[in-house]
């Protein structure tokens, strides 16, 4: 029994029963549906195809529904081109609306100060930028930049 699982994300390129069959026969164990993209109707059609093909092949293929999480966003910046922050910089994320600077930015998730604590690492821009929480004071999250970059 193999312990490694092969997870394949389905999309328009796999909307063919013959392709799904080849994927399963080649070792796909889990069919992943990325709900961050595509319409629910398209995912439903793909799910029905996976069920039909796995029943035809009598293959144990699981389904993984990767749902879209909340979108936490930074606010606008004084400079419309954004600001660059560097490793070691001090930076404040705040739930009080403001125009962002190289020292501070609004974040639209009101619960963020409750959800983080000293030592928490916050990832921005799909993880390209990271900062570590130093402390939380009310609606302000004081951080030190670990990996810098352009905030827009």
Determine what percent of the chain falls in helix, strand and coil, rounding each to the nearest 5: 20, 35, 45
What percent of the chain has a predicted confidence (pLDDT) above 70? 99
Total-model pTM: 0.62
- Choice between 15 and 127, residue whose per-residue pLDDT is larger: 15
Token pair 């905030």 is at which residue? 151
Q: How many domains does the chain have?
A: 2
- Note whether residue 24 is domain-resident: yes
Quick one: 50 and 100 in the same domain? Answer: no
Residues with Cβ within 8 Å of 35's Cβ and at least 6 positions away in sequence, in order, are: 43, 65, 66, 67, 68
Q: Residue 11: what are its φ and ψ, rounded to 5°?
A: -165, -165
Does the pLDDT of residue 95 top 90, yes or no? yes
**Nearest residue to 142 via CA among 96, 114, 104, 115:** 104
Same domain for 143 and 87, yes or no, is: yes
Domain-terminating residue out of 41, 66, 91: 66
Residue 93 has pLDDT above 70, yes or no: yes
Q: Indicate whether 72 belongs to any domain.
A: no
Which domain, by its residues, includes 33?
7-66
First to last CA, the chain: 48
Which among 101, 100, 107, 98 is positioned nearest to 133, based on CA atoms? Answer: 107
């Amino acid at each position: 029994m193999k312990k490694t699982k092969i997870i394949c994300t389905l999309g328009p390129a796999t909307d063919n029963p013959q392709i799904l069959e080849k994927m399963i026969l080649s070792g796909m164990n889990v069919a992943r549906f990325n709900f961050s993209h595509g319409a629910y109707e398209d995912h439903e059609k793909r799910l029905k195809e996976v069920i039909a093909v796995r029943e035809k092949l009598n293959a144990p293929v699981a389904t993984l529904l990767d749902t879209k999480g909340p979108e936490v966003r930074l606010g606008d910046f004084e400079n419309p081109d954004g600001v660059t922050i560097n490793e070691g910089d001090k930076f404040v994320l705040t739930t009080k609306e403001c125009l962002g600077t190289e020292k501070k930015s609004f974040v639209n998730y009101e619960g963020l100060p409750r959800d983080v604590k000293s030592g928490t690492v916050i990832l921005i821009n799909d993880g390209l930028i990271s900062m570590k929480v130093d402390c939380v004071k009310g609606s302000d999250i004081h951080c030190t930049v670990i990996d810098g970059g352009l905030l827009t």
